[in-house]
Structure 1
Amino acid sequence: MNTSRSQSYRNIGLLSAVQALGGSSSSIIMSVAALAAVGFAPDPSAATLPTTAMIIGLALATSLATMIIYRLGRSRGLMLGAAIGIPAALLATLAVVLGNFYLFAAALFLVGVSGAFMQQVRFAAADSVDPDLKSQAISWVLFGGVAAGFLGPQLSVTTRTWIAGAEYAASFLVIAVLSLLSVFVVAFTRLAPTRVPGAPAGRGRPLSVLLRQPEIVTPMIGAALTYALMTLIMVAAPLAMVHFCGHAPAEAAGAIQWHVVAMFAPSFVTGAIIKRLGAHLVTAIGLLLIIVCAAVALNGISVGHFTVTLILLGVGWNFGFIGSTTMLATSYRPEEAGRVQAVNEQVVFGSSALASLGSGFLLQVLGWEAINMLAIPLAGAAILLLALGAYRQRLA
């Protein structure tokens, strides 16, 4: 697309702020949702179900969110998505005050729906800058997650007792404020216009044809496996630390915080690395780091082992996810963007939801070591697929 450099950087900066605000909301939920629910859950083992409801809401709404954004336009679509988070967060606050578990799960499901819109921020950035800035735009926007890694948990702790008799209720009230701020920030963006999928003019290739293109399918698989493996190990890690290895909850929280920082901190340079090495190689390096993180986990269960494992997992996710997104963002025509992105989001976050649902079960049945052993061949298979894709690209 043709746009001025100043406008490109403006979009990147504003969308990075949106990423920080949305990521902070997710961090709050990951930090305290289970702790809030355990007091009024029908059974303590069900305390993590509201968090899983959020992930399911995100996964189910990804295609619809993408299509709505392409109907309304990027800015208006993202504003709508952020706005959905306001009543959802208020409902979650009310659920905690009333001690209503099922209302709480429903509220977090709606928060996940709002999050489905926010996942389109990286594509909005890539499609609204000059072509040579695509990889940097994706990585710089995701760099906003570094702020979320620190801001979200800190806000949840600070506001924990603000509403008397309803511990953590105010933490969800904060999410409503963050969602409102996101609406205002998005309003100042000037994003590229969208083309309605299925419009009579400029339809592009049919979806059945697009999904037979290796340059489209390969990054989808790469992103899906990267996200699913990250979710599988990340969700299991704190449970393994506290309930299987006897570490303190504070130590588990510290390891997770470093993991979140590692997920987003490399984003400052990932785009430049992709420009130098290529998206295929950077994605493969990310998956290789996930293999290394699994190997570290298999060699010890100390706090240090868990922390290093989660840091490597975070960096591996960063390289794998941004590399895959960059590959996908350059594989389709503008008029095909809505359809391709909708399918990609469904595949990626559907895989993540399945990994989240299966993580606790696999930990109980097979154990922490088995989860990490499972990650190694899956990541290895994805690396081979990327190597084949790079070979085909070189031949072309």
Structure 2
Amino acid sequence: MERLEAVNLTLLALCWACSLSSSTLLTAIGPLASRAVGASDAIAPFAVALFLLGAALVSVPSAPLFTRCGRKAGFLVGCTFNLIAGAVGVTGCLVDSLACVFAACFLSGVSQGLAQFYRFAAMEVCAPSRKPFAVTLVLSGGVIAAFAGPSLARLRFSASDEARFKYVGSFAAVGCLGLLNAVLSGAVRFTPAASTTDTRERLLPDGDGAECTSTRESQAPPPPPPPPPLLELMLTPRCIGAMSAAAIAHSSMVMLMSPLTIVMGNDGIHEDHSTLALEIHFACMFGPGFVTGRLIQRFGPPRVALLGVGVFAAAAATMLAGSELWNFIVGMAFCGVAWNLCFSSGTVLLSSCYTPQDAPRVQGANDFVIFFLAGSGSFCSGYINAALGWSTLNYIVLGLMAVMLATVFGVSRFPSEPVTPSNAADEGDPHFPRDPSVLSQASVASNASQRMRSSYMSEAVFIPDTQVAKAAEEEEAGLRSAFNSQSDLPRV
């Protein structure tokens, strides 16, 4: 590995750790700070819900932002939001303003939504054969954040007896994490934006003569048909099943996590112990990611998702069994592992539902659905816990697992391979008309190579097989060789 590549990947892993530390920090202190400035037990979990809502809303303009401004500028915008969030949160604690505390959580959620692209940036700054390692390295930042965020939640900069002043240091830490993240992001040497030049132009020999340009124009196939409507892609059975698995898993996890510190405090458990439960929960969310990818490769997404359903049921049963400290710690640990299994399986399953050309639209819509439903679940969890109790919330999670179980069984009936430019041309699909020219055939094959890569680049916690990236490189090299051997192509 080149030194520059290693430095870039290390910096990106630290960037992700900083961003995710803000997330785990606000999850730990958001509801408590809200209650300290006057929110009821039903309203306090809104802090986490607004964080998720911010992440959901920014998923809509995030792709155009990175396309127009580049990776570095986009990430710096996210860091700025986190810096502002820290300042607003400190102000809210000092002036006793619930609106400021909620606004701080929302702004930090916007920052976290933009930070989701660090995993894609990591794969852009390394060689294709090392993309699996790049994803793994960036994921390690999540393990750091699992302990760094809750540890920062213990910061106390005031000796005042008023509860609201206890969280000034925590919100100040959010701003400091945003500033540190900006410094680290600025040090990364991102690659230029991917060229929009068609694949067939990249494969032809370069030259400065007019003959090559005219030949390209004469041999270029007609423009491709417009992409299918997004709603049509999202309503396919497998896409519905994939989004359902990820969204239900994320919503169930958030419904249990959002009011956790409130519930444990009402049961007489010290705040430091509730922070410990969250630390273990976050570690179990991100730690198994390195193993989950191998499980999905071996058994397939549906079976791994079913395993996650079983672990979710074990989590709910453990927390229904009692209100001791060990019930919360073990139950939330199970909840973290179950989220990892189900969320990973759902996103990998989603990667079989679109072509590379449709990937940005489908992935953006998928993120919006997941964060929107999770935010809605967080909003509801506060009211459910206050009105019906913690046990009812766990029973609702068990009901959601029954829905996921039916969804996964239904999805397993459908074939896993989407209609792609490569196989559509062979089968005579009307969206991808057959063209006998050498250029068209090579373009179709190159699209197949890109699809192989993109299907393994769509999820942070899925560890792809290195042989896939190597096969894609070999395929593209073969295409270049085939073009160079064609006698009818001009040599410049």
Normalised by the size of structure 1, how large is the TM-score? Answer: 0.84
Highest CA radius of gyration, 1 or 2?
2
Matched AA of 1:190: F
Once residues 296 and 23 of structure 1 are traced to their aligned partners in structure 2, the CA distance between those partners, rounded to angstroms, is 27
Matching residue within 82, 85, 99 for 2:82: 85
1:20 aligned counterpart, secondary structure: helix
In the other structure, the counterpart of 1:254 is 276
1:1-396 equivalent positions in 2, closer than 5 A: 13-41=10-38, 46-125=43-122, 141-158=138-155, 160-161=157-158, 166-187=165-186, 188=188, 190=190, 193=193, 204-243=227-266, 245-393=267-415
Shift of 1:293: 1.2
Cα 1:82–1:40 shift into 2, 3 Å = same
Once residues 107 and 243 of structure 2 are traced to their aligned partners in structure 1, the CA distance between those partners, rounded to angstroms, is 25
Once residues 305 and 150 of structure 1 are traced to their aligned partners in structure 2, the CA distance between those partners, rounded to angstroms, is 20
CA deviation profile, 1:287-306 (whole Å, cap 9, x unmatched): 22112211222333322222
Normalised by the size of structure 2, how large is the TM-score? Answer: 0.69
Shift of 1:379: 1.6
Deviation larger for 260-269 or 221-230: 260-269
1:371 aligned counterpart, secondary structure: helix
Contact 1:63 1:342 in 2 (8 A): yes
Shift of 1:338: 2.1
Matched AA of 2:234: L
Shift of 1:311: 0.4
Shift of 1:281: 2.5
Cα 1:32–1:208 shift into 2, 3 Å = closer
Cα 1:23–1:377 shift into 2, 3 Å = same
Matched AA of 1:31: A
Contact 1:74 1:194 in 2 (8 A): no
1:301 aligned counterpart, secondary structure: coil
Cα 1:11–1:51 shift into 2, 3 Å = same
In the other structure, the counterpart of 2:210 is none
Shift of 1:380: 2.8
Cα 1:207–1:26 shift into 2, 3 Å = same
Q: Which has the higher helix share?
A: 1
Cα 1:376–1:44 shift into 2, 3 Å = closer
Shift of 1:135: 7.1
Cα 1:298–1:347 shift into 2, 3 Å = same
Once residues 17 and 202 of structure 1 are traced to their aligned partners in structure 2, the CA distance between those partners, rounded to angstroms, is 42
Deviation larger for 249-258 or 162-171: 162-171
Once residues 7 and 229 of structure 2 are traced to their aligned partners in structure 1, the CA distance between those partners, rounded to angstroms, is 34
CA deviation profile, 1:359-390 (whole Å, cap 9, x unmatched): 12112232222222222232232233223333
1:168 aligned counterpart, secondary structure: helix
2:414 aligned counterpart, secondary structure: helix
1:93 aligned counterpart, secondary structure: helix
Matched AA of 2:65: I
Shift of 1:134: 7.0
Once residues 205 and 194 of structure 1 are traced to their aligned partners in structure 2, the CA distance between those partners, rounded to angstroms, is 23
Deviation larger for 47-56 or 231-240: 47-56
1:158 aligned counterpart, secondary structure: coil
Deviation larger for 182-191 or 111-120: 182-191
Deviation larger for 222-231 or 123-132: 123-132
Q: Percent identity?
A: 27
Once residues 258 and 26 of structure 2 are traced to their aligned partners in structure 1, the CA distance between those partners, rounded to angstroms, is 13
Contact 1:138 1:271 in 2 (8 A): no
Deviation larger for 367-376 or 121-130: 121-130
1:157 aligned counterpart, secondary structure: coil
Contact 1:135 1:326 in 2 (8 A): no
Deviation larger for 260-269 or 50-59: 50-59
Matched AA of 1:104: V
Contact 1:138 1:322 in 2 (8 A): no
CA deviation profile, 1:106-144 (whole Å, cap 9, x unmatched): 232222221221233345556777788777765653442
Contact 1:34 1:51 in 2 (8 A): yes
Unaligned runs of 5+ in 1: none
Count matched residues: 389
Cα 1:208–1:34 shift into 2, 3 Å = closer
Once residues 396 and 305 of structure 2 are traced to their aligned partners in structure 1, the CA distance between those partners, rounded to angstroms, is 19
Once residues 212 and 46 of structure 1 are traced to their aligned partners in structure 2, the CA distance between those partners, rounded to angstroms, is 34
Contact 1:290 1:316 in 2 (8 A): yes
Cα 1:297–1:179 shift into 2, 3 Å = same
Cα 1:308–1:283 shift into 2, 3 Å = same
Matched AA of 1:120: F
Cα 1:365–1:310 shift into 2, 3 Å = same
Unaligned runs of 5+ in 2: 197-222, 419-492
Cα 1:237–1:32 shift into 2, 3 Å = closer
CA deviation profile, 1:61-109 (whole Å, cap 9, x unmatched): 3222344234434443233222222223222223323333323322322
Cα 1:150–1:288 shift into 2, 3 Å = same
